[in-house]
Amino acid sequence: MTSDVGAQADKAYGLYLGGLRDGQWQGFHEVLADEVDLVWPYPPSAGHYTGADGRQKLMVFLDQFGDEGNRIVESEVLLRVIDGDRVIFEDHGKGTLFRRPYEGRHCIIFVMSDGRVAGFHEYTARVA
């Protein structure tokens, strides 16, 4: 079970990073469960959202990362931990955010259920 959860989360994480790089989110949207427990760190929409509303808000929030002014073009995974149905990725990313240079460390937790992302919790520390 653990290896399946890890492989499923790795696939979803790859689709997530692809969306951050090129703004193409369809693949990641397809691996989201119908209901998502979302913890979103970025104001003005920072907060905790659940259910179908959590899924919809995550899709809308991520779609903001698609134009050339909002892209994470480099990402290095620093840590990956599997704990039951949770897979934790700590990474370091660089790119642009609101058309300004961006560098940050992120902790992204996927809660997997039936091969899909049922939880997306992100915690961020901006470096530059």
Q: In this predicted model, which residue has the larger pLDDT, 2 or 78?
A: 78
Q: In this predicted model, which residue has the larger pLDDT, 34 or 69?
A: 34
Rounded Cα distance, 121 and 48, in Å: 9
Instruction: Judge contact between 122 and 108, C-beta under 8 A.
Output: yes
What percentage of the chain exceeds 90 in pLDDT? Answer: 84
DSSP 46: -
Q: pLDDT digit string (tens) for 55-74?
A: 999 999 998 887 778 899 99
The pLDDT confidence band at residue 97, using thresholds 50, 70 and 90, is confident
pTM of the complete model: 0.93
Instruction: Judge contact between 98 and 69, C-beta under 8 A.
Output: yes
CB-count exposure of residue 72 (10 Å: 0-12, 13-18, 19+): buried
Architecture of domain 2-126: Roll (3.10)
Query: What Å distances lie between residue 77 and 10, 42, 106, CA to CA?
Result: 11, 21, 9
